[in-house]
Copies of this chain bind each other. A is one copy, B any other.
Amino acid sequence: MAPNTTVRKKGRAKSTAPTSAEVATIAGVSRSTVSRTFTQGASVDPVTRARIIEVAQDIGYAPNQAARSLISGRSDTVGLVMASFDNPFYHTVLSGFLDHFQRRDIRVMCHAAPDIDGVDEGVRAMLRYNVDAMIIAASGMTSSVIDDCRRSGVSTVLFNRTIPGSRVHSVQTDNLAGGRTMADFLAIGGHGRMAYIHGLEQSSTNRDRYTGFADRVAELGLPEPQQEFGEYTYQGGREAVKRLMMSGNAPDAVFCANDIMAFGVLDGLRTDLGLSVPGDVSVTGFDDVPMASWPSFGLTTIRQRRNRMIDAAVALLDTAITDPKGKDECVSIEGRLILRESARLPSPRPS
């Protein structure tokens, strides 16, 4: 916990950076005027303002954020804690959030949690830094720190997770609907022996995708899907599909809880087992990461609408700040079935 060698600085404030006082002296105004010049929506005489800005640039002055944060109670900083950071989908999510907040000149503190405790730790750590908002993208681990967020008065939004009754906003893809859509699509394609490869069992996204899928399969009067477990990883998918195909009752369609596992499944099927996709088996995923469109994979999948989700998350954050006592909203965004070559399409009927 306590570091020995460390990036931490030693002594006290070297105060190497210029302060507002210096600018004030040089520009011949009071500190307040300097401060106002750098404060949104304060009124300063244009000429004075110009002079101040020039001086500031000259000596390289910029307001000290720590001091600013101390008095204003905000830090122009948001915290983003992610679990499952090896899933490329979350790289694009991170990228999207960074892009958004950079435009608004808001800093993003990142934390990649290796496990459940990691999420709590990360959230708590960021709370100490007075982040103005917290985004928790940890698809389905139960976290006890949500209350801490609310107690600290930090607007919080859950990304791809909901904790019912937690009084926290959340955004997610409609995973239930996604699962159902996939069941319909595969059924129409004439598949009768379906299989599902789970991600992490504790993950709510995984559960919902499965539930939607299995429910719809049942409604269609088809046999219950076989199940395997792939831990949301490439290697996990690759091995899971081998177990599936060796099991005596080989499926003709495999729906994976995310794209990465589906890539593993494709490689397992083609390379390890010498089977053809979709000739022998159809394979589908969930996410639509960039690679899914590469011809090597051509993965039929459910697209999570990343941009919409991010916009929604940010909107919720803004709402939460405007109206901290407001009711918690839970935005659900429908995924979109993306057709590619990894799954058999329905054969056209003779008319």
Contacts and interface: CB of A to CB of B under 8 A. Distances in A.
A5 B318 contact: yes
A325 interface: no
Interface stretch (A9-17, A213-221, A300-308): A9-17
A305 to B, nearest CB: 19
Contacts of A106: 3, 7-8
Where chain A touches its partner, the secondary structure class is: mixed
Nearest to A74: B9
A90 to B, nearest CB: 9
A93 to B, nearest CB: 12
Closest 10 CB pairs of A and B: A13-B73, A9-B74, A16-B153, A66-B69, A3-B104, A271-B295, A66-B70, A98-B112, A62-B128, A110-B110
Contact of A40 (B2, B17, B103): B2
Interface string A121-157: 1101111111011000000000000001001110100
B132 A9 contact: yes
A3 B314 CA distance: 13
Of A76, A78, A118, A317, the most chain B CB neighbours within 10 A belong to A76
A6 interface: yes
Q: A interface, how many residues as a size bin?
A: 35 or more
B104 A129 contact: no
Interface string A196-227: 00000000000000000000000000000000
A95 B126 CA distance: 18
Interface in A140-176: 148, 151-153, 155
Contact of A8 (B16, B76, B99, B127): B76
A99 B112 contact: yes
Nearest to A297: B296
A72 B8 CA distance: 11
B12 A263 contact: no
B102 A112 contact: yes
B69 A98 contact: no
Contacts of A234: 290, 294
A124 B88 CA distance: 29
